[in-house]
Amino acid sequence: MPEYSLFLLLGGLLSGLLAGLLGIGGGVILVPILVALNYQPVQATATSTLAILCTSTSGSIQNWRMGYLDFRRVLALEGPALITAQLGVFIGDRIAPHLLLAAFGGLLWLNIYLVMLRKKLVQQAPDQKTSPRISPLLARLGTGAAAGLLAGLFGIGGGVIMVPFQILLLGEPIKIAIQTSLGVIVITTFSACLGHAYYGNVLWIPGLLLGAGGLIGAQISTRYLPRLPDHVVDLSFRSLLALLSLYFFWRAWQIYPG
């Protein structure tokens, strides 16, 4: 058992709670936790993919058992995601640590915007299928490619990107978008995890501890936490992301070689 085992379990629990509540992979929480424990940025992103793989696999199996997982939609996004996931791994293994940290800080601000956008879309038309904005083929290629690149580069599942894109570009209902996204995350993070393992970046025991906590957290949030007021959850999550982004910018400044 590594140092900080209990902290890793609690961190995974927190990511699982947020994943079940907001439909995200949890990497935006896992990577900062690992960085705060003084792991290298590339190790943090690589290990996050292992933890997300555990959580997303459990959720997708449950969706499949309940008949909510459409494999055709998953495969349509998965092709480009598998390719760009390896590209993200390749870039992440070579990029300077301070640049990776700064880029992740910027991604957190993008996540704040996308979570707000997704909430707005759900409020406007929670169960209606709108017309696609561009060619469905191009939309699927772009959505899958963006999710795969983020998974490989930053160690996140990509759900926070895929769900809004599916709604905006493909006109999918929010529930179908979330279920499809989770299925794509399974294969994308598996691909990214294998790539990082090849370069020796994955910390297996910390990743499994985070994943175990995430499995528990997702079960709890699915059953109990939706009773919390939405505005409290949204404000807390956005505030957390903003604070984490400032922390990443500060860490990037600390290790800047100049």
At 198 the pLDDT is: 92
SS3 per residue for the chain: CCCCHHHHHHHHHHHHHHHHHHCCCCHHHHHHHHHHCCCCHHHHHHHHHHHHHHHHHHHHHHHHHCCCCCHHHHHHHHHHHHHHHHHHHHHHHHCCHHHHHHHHHHHHHHHHHHHHHHHHHHHHCCCCCCCCCCCHHHHHHHHHHHHHHHHHHHCCCCHHHHHHHHHHHHCCCHHHHHHHHHHHHHHHHHHHHHHHHHCCCCCHHHHHHHHHHHHHHHHHHHHCHHHCCHHHHHHHHHHHHHHHHHHHHHHHHHCCCC
Tell me what percent of the residues of the chain surpass a pLDDT of 70: 84
Over residues 119-152, the pLDDT tens digits come to 676 676 555 555 555 778 888 888 889 888 888 8
Residues of the chain with pLDDT under 70: 1-3, 20-25, 115, 118-119, 121-122, 124-133, 160, 222, 224-226, 228, 230, 233-234, 258
